Structure 1
Amino acid sequence: MTPGSKQKQRQTRKLQTIQHGIRLLVRANDGERRPLLKVLLMTYGRVGRKRRELLGPLISARPHQALEEESAGRTAHDEELFNDTGKTAADTLSPSTKPPGAREVNQGSWTYYVPDFTPQLQALLQSQLKHPPPHLTRPLLRRMAPRLEELNSWKRPMPLNRVKNQTKEWYASTLARVHPPLPPQEWYRLRDLASGVQSEPRVSRRKRVGEKALAGEETLLFRLSEPPPTDRSRDAHAITPRYMRRMWATVFAQCPVMEWEGVSEKWKVTWGEHALHGLRRRAKESGEG
């Protein structure tokens, strides 16, 4: 494959990605529920790049990076090599540098292989376990500690390489289930939009230009301006204030906010779903009163 063909393939992939994004925005602008919900979920960090940006500050640096690098050269084969005393190479390490096995990981020594939870992340995970939000985008969080098989199929202790890999898989799976908190200002604004206290200004639609380009023109600008094919089966919906409140409420229910309480000296986590229930309950009580 020549460099020119590789570059053309990259341009084609980028063009397809851009066209897919344009089609998504067009369908969301037409009021289709799934595309519109996806755009809002991306906007408020429930999926996509912004979610990773919101999750980043909650993750700590490696506490035991040096220890793992020290023992990184030992392979699974090395673990099975016995010395004159009948112990494996890993058994001869001092307790401070010896990698923990599956039993030790299950008992809480998993921070040797992966970063420990920061206080913010630990408070968020505990709150998410206690008050699970609607899992429209994230799998349900079931536990905060790994549960590894301690013995292999030969009823021998699980090799350390597998223990390390399984611990990393558990850690990645846990992070994939986290709903990162929104900044307070953004969270309160979304709450007001979902409850109807605040509304977005209506933007008038732009008319599509129906001019045709010259025959044979293949520029990116021309191809990006091609209107998507119409689909009569699409679930288009009029974008009314009531419709948008429901969409914002669906997204807001999955959004927590974290605030530090100086009196109790701990992180307070408030979920959008519970905040909306509280607002509706107070509105109902004030109406009855």
Structure 2
Amino acid sequence: MARPQPSHWLQDLSKSHQWRHLLRATLRECTYLPDPIAREYMRNHVISRYRAVSSRRVKAGPQTAHAAKHAFSVLRRANEGYQRPLEKVLLLSYGRTGKRRHALLADMLGNHLPQNTASLKEYLLQAPEFTDGWEPPVIVKSLALAHVQNPVVTTNRIRPLIKKLSPPIPKENSWGKELSESRRKTIRRRWYNTTLSSLMPPIPKKELELLDGLISGTVKWSPVKRRKVLFEKTKPQPESELFQLLAKGPEKGDTFAAYANGRPHEITARFMRRQWRRLSSLVPRLYWNPYLEKWRFTWDSPKDVPALAFDLSSNVDPSGIFQSLKQERKAERKPPPQQ
């Protein structure tokens, strides 16, 4: 049996079977997403949103219907190759924005809690939260510093910019007196919450390896094939020239009105590598610096950067390489033999 055309049942969502059609169509668009992580995350996200609404046992209002239609529209335009909807889906799936960013941030902070007795004693001896002598976690300070030093993060403006790396506590208030303890505590709490809202946490190791493999081409990728449409679009009845003139005015030439909000791109490997490379530049890489004995973060470049150095194995003598280069240059400088 042929399925109804989406434009028919999207206009009214007053009945339960229309919501089922919308849910199935949204999940179908999730399976067509060109990114493997986005396919899994968006499917689980859509199901959880629909279950949260259905568990309330109340009639969905116009705001809920608008949000459901908007989610379906974003996924459909992302699969059609529109760059902004596709970028929005990738940012949500990789935790750069949205609900998953909070989950990754909580995992990052939870993994750096005291793991042994010595660190636990040191943690308990710290000052209470946001009081005088309190310091934010080291991992938060290191990640905030990495955000400030990365020009890609500051220019993309995906998250709010970090303006201060420490709480801006003035020495005196407007009356020239020392700031009260409650006021200092409030400033620290607001600064800490604002800083957390600006951070983009690292992603799990498996997802990072998959992202790097998609960029380098070591992980095989091919666009998802859409299934054939079972329904046929009804052809509009031809209108008379007089009716078109009275209703729509004189016929216009070719304009860019259809591409005012972007244009669809063909989803190819080259197109997706650009999206993944741009996304990878927003994912921090966490590593332990043995010299400073601190956690540090590095960022990937949004464009391919030529390597200015190469690694040598232990059984290769570097002096021999430079010696051979000198001999090649001398051979090039020699004049050609005379005939």
Q: TM-score range by the shorter chain?
A: 0.5 to 0.7
1:137-196, CA deviations, whole angstroms, 9 ceiling, x for partnerless residues?
123334321112333322233344433322211111111221201122211221232344
Mapping for residues 6-21 of structure 1, pairs under 5 Å: 7-8=58-59, 10-21=60-71
**SS across alignment from 1:134:** helix
* Residue of 87, 103, 117 corresponding to 2:136: 117
Distance 2:67 2:125 in 1: 39
* Residue of 292, 299, 302 corresponding to 1:271: 299
The farther-off stretch of 186-195 and 21-30 is 186-195
Q: What is aligned with 1:25?
A: 75
1:232 aligns with 2:258: yes
Q: What is aligned with 1:216?
A: none
AA partner of residue 140 (structure 2): L
Deviation, 1:282, is 2.8
Deviation, 1:29, is 0.6
Contact persistence 1:253–1:272 (CA under 8 A):
yes
Distance 2:107 2:92 in 1: 18
Identity over aligned pairs, percent: 31
Q: What is aligned with 1:41?
A: 91
Contact persistence 2:159–2:198 (CA under 8 A):
yes
AA partner of residue 280 (structure 1): V
Deviation, 1:285, is 8.4
AA partner of residue 258 (structure 2): R
AA partner of residue 271 (structure 1): W
Q: Unaligned regions of 5+ residues in structure 2, if any?
A: 1-56, 114-122, 234-256, 312-324, 326-339
Distance 1:239 1:152 in 2: 58
AA partner of residue 241 (structure 1): A
Mapping for residues 79-228 of structure 1, pairs under 5 Å: 109=133, 111=134, 116-135=135-154, 136=156, 137-210=158-231
Contact persistence 2:144–2:199 (CA under 8 A):
yes
Q: What is aligned with 2:100?
A: 50
AA partner of residue 108 (structure 2): L
Distance 2:293 2:285 in 1: 16
* Residue of 228, 233, 247 corresponding to 2:275: 247
AA partner of residue 255 (structure 1): V
Q: Unaligned regions of 5+ residues in structure 1, if any?
A: 1-5, 69-98, 213-230
Distance change (3 Å), C-alpha of 1:209 and 1:163: farther
Distance 2:58 2:127 in 1: 40
AA partner of residue 53 (structure 1): A
Contact persistence 1:132–1:140 (CA under 8 A):
no
1:282 aligns with 2:303: no
Q: What is aligned with 2:287?
A: 259
Deviation, 1:280, is 3.5
**What TM-score comes out, normalization by structure 2 length?**
0.54
- Computing the radius of gyration from Cα coordinates, the structure with the larger value is 2
AA partner of residue 137 (structure 2): T
Contact persistence 1:260–1:267 (CA under 8 A):
yes
Distance change (3 Å), C-alpha of 1:150 and 1:209: farther
Deviation, 1:59, is 3.0
**What TM-score comes out, normalization by structure 1 length?**
0.62
Distance 1:16 1:40 in 2: 22
Q: How many residues align?
A: 218
Distance 1:153 1:264 in 2: 41
Contact persistence 1:29–1:36 (CA under 8 A):
yes
Q: Which has the higher contact order (CA 8 A, sep 6+)?
A: 1
